[in-house]
Amino acid sequence: MNENLWLDSSHLIFFEKDFENFNEKEFDEIFDKPKWTGPKTGIVVFHYEKVAVREMMNEIKFKKNPNELKNIFEKVIEKLVKADTLLAKVSLFDAKNTPIQNPKFQKIVEHQIKKAEEELEQAEEKLTQNRPDKAITRFGKSWLCAQIVIKFASLEAKP
């Protein structure tokens, strides 16, 4: 993945700029059709991993592929899911531990933390249904909600 989307090995860039113009209702569009020309955001990592996992899932179902190849695809999918689980959980941990600088953002912070936790639960449910592609979508949404928390919690009150 594009190294410009990463802060370090376990943190993606939320938005390089233009966060103020972000509308949460636009998430699905950003997730499903990421724009490399727009503001840099780590959500595209989840998008491309979801696409890759779907392709590998199709290759696993293809009867003519040798079992060795199918096993490799299964291991890669497992590693991608583990990585996305970690990204979402680290982000949520960071969000919960970001002090709120401006009390007026308390409600949005609480709401987004709840949404991030719900998305994590839904991701786990998708994994039990053997839908790693859909789990990655949910991990991405959890990550995004946690990033919104960090952003709003960090905004200071204007004098």
- Which pLDDT belongs to residue 37? 42
The reported pTM is 0.81
Helix (H, G, I), strand (E, B) or coil at 159: coil
Nearest 5°: the CA angle 56, 33, 129 is 40
Look at the alpha carbons of 94, 42, 1, 3 in this order and tell me if their dihedral is positive or negative: negative
Q: In the predicted model, is pLDDT for residue 8 greater than 80?
A: no
Q: Are 53 and 126 in contact (CB under 8 A)?
A: no
Whether residue 89 has pLDDT greater than 50: yes
| The predicted structure's pLDDT at residue 156 | 82
pLDDT-based confidence at residue 19 (cuts at 50, 70, 90): low
